[in-house]
Amino acid sequence: MSTAVALPPPPIRTTKDLKAAHHLSSGGASGLASAITLQPLDLLKTRLQQAYATEAKGAKRRKLSQVVSGVLRDDGIQGLWRGTTPTVVRNVPGVAMYFYSLSAIRGYLTTIPFFAIPLTQPTGQPPTAVAALPASSVPAAAPISPASNTALVKLSPQGNLIAGAIGRTGVGFILNPVTVLKARFESGQYKEYKSLFSAFKSLLRQNGVRGLFQGFTATAARDAPYAGMYLVFYEKGKDLAGRLVKPEWGIPYAAQHSVSGALAAILATTITSPADVVKTRMQVNFTNHPTIRIAISKIYADRGLAGFFSGSSLRVSRKAASSAIAWTVYEGLLLFYRDREA
């Protein structure tokens, strides 16, 4: 009677094999691509969210077509890209830092059993092949097979929620001064801003150091839940695509990432739209909106509940396109690095 001998499984690569430079370069490239491509949507969203008339006369809602006409009339077609410099200054290092910190946080959370996803065996291996491995040989992160549609570690929804919230809020705090300048450039109310440096000096002169962090609380209230929910929805979308899309169909991973990113952004953006409106009001017109409570009351007095969704259609469109571009570029480059070094 012969005894079957189980062959050892092939080496398992994890996302921890990817270098920090890979995450930073992939994140920076994705931030640059989305910033330049989608700046017009960001500018128009800011114009729609800011107060449309003086407080004494009451706010008067403007339509998107009127905003576009006004930008083209005042600044020409290039006016749609006003604020691109602070956007690039914020997005390129910001997205790079976000993706890197997100990878580091998620990598750490995989060491905590509550957040980790159980290891799955490589394709073609019996379930016991991985289960029988000694604990010392089991990688902390979930394995990535060559056929995997992702180069990121796998976490539970709770882990993704926490990782996204912490990563986005931390980077948001560091880059909040640039975010304030970006909102002011886009608003059209600060024509004296001729360069990023002169705008920075003007902001410091008028509002002091405190002015550099205007709206951060509202930004954090928007970004923390947005980033957490986005990551949960995005990973669920990729998992669903991985189960439904058959390899023989020939659908590229980039398409799966784009669709998952866009749908996740639509859901997360819609939920967090009110916080984005409050943040914009505080950063563009801090004098009349010095606190979240006052900003909320003024927005409600201007337009009621609908005011908390001003520009939401543009923000949803912008976020859907931005996420599709950013995550597709990011994961595409990571997959390239992974396969090149395999």
pLDDT tens-digit map of 255-290: 888 889 899 999 999 988 888 888 888 877 777 888
Q: CB-based contacts of 129: which residues, under 8 Å, 6+ apart?
A: 6, 7, 8, 9, 121, 122
Can you tell me the distance from the alpha carbon of 291 to that of 279, in angstroms, rounded to the nearest whole number?
A: 10
| Cβ partners under 8 Å of residue 146, min gap 6 | 339, 342
The number of C-alpha atoms within 13 Å of 218 and in the hemisphere containing its C-beta is 27
CA 129 vs. chain centroid, Å, equals 38
Q: Is the pLDDT of residue 85 over 60?
A: yes
Residue 2 Cα distances to 5, 17, 165, angstroms:
9, 39, 55
Confidence of residue 61 (pLDDT cuts 50, 70, 90): low
Q: What is the per-residue pLDDT for 109?
A: 92
pLDDT of residue 202: 83
> Where do runs of H (alpha helix) occur along 151-249?
157-174, 176-187, 196-211, 216-244
Q: What's the rounded mean pLDDT across residues 174-197?
A: 79
Q: CA of 269: how far to CAs of 149, 233, 280, 305, in Å? A: 25, 12, 15, 17
Lowest mean pLDDT among 50-54, 131-135, 187-191: 131-135
pLDDT at 166 over 90: yes
Average pLDDT over residues 318-327: 85
The pLDDT of residue 60 is 54
> What pairs with residue 155 in β-bridges?
116
What's the mean pLDDT in 283-309? Answer: 85
Output the pLDDT for position 50: 66
> How far is residue 322 CA from its own chain's centroid?
8
CB distance 10 to 122 below 8 Å: yes
Mean pLDDT (whole number) for 291-318: 86
Q: Give the pLDDT confidence score for residue 125 in this predicted structure.
A: 43
**Cβ atoms 23, 100 nearer than 8 A:** yes
Q: Where are the beta strands (DSSP E) in 16-155?
A: none
Q: Is the pLDDT of residue 26 over 70?
A: yes
End-to-end CA distance of the chain: 40
Lowest mean pLDDT among 8-12, 43-47, 231-235, 296-300: 8-12
Average pLDDT over residues 97-126: 75
Residue holding tokens 């939920």?
A: 271
B/e letters for 101-131, b = 16+ CB within 10 Å, e = fewer, are bbbebbbebbeeeebbeebebbeebeeebbe
pLDDT of amino acid 148 = 61
DSSP assigned state of 93: H
Across the range 16-36, mean pLDDT stands at 80
Q: What pLDDT is stored for residue 34 in this prediction?
A: 85
Model pTM? 0.65
Q: What is the pLDDT of residue 165?
A: 93
Percent of residues, the chain, with pLDDT higher than 70: 80
Q: Grade residue 135 by pLDDT with cuts at 50, 70 and 90.
A: very low
Question: What is the per-residue burial (b if ≥16 Cβ within 10 Å, else e) of 11-35?
Answer: ebbbbebbeeebbbbbbbbbbbbbb
Let me know: does 161 contact 229? Beta carbons within 8 Å. Answer: yes
Segment 202-207 shows an average pLDDT of 84
Residue, of 145 and 31, whose pLDDT is higher: 31
* Predicted pLDDT of residue 198: 80
pLDDT of residue 241: 85
pLDDT at 164: 92
Distances 238 to 59, 71, 139, 151, 233 between C-alpha atoms, Å: 43, 39, 22, 11, 9
Report the candidate in 318, 322, 310, 304 with the shortest Cα–Cα distance to residue 278.
310
Q: What is the per-residue pLDDT for 130? A: 33
* pLDDT tens profile 173-185: 998 888 888 878 7
Residues 6 or more apart in contact with residue 246 via CB below 8 angstroms:
none
In contact, 260 and 241? CB cutoff 8 Å: yes
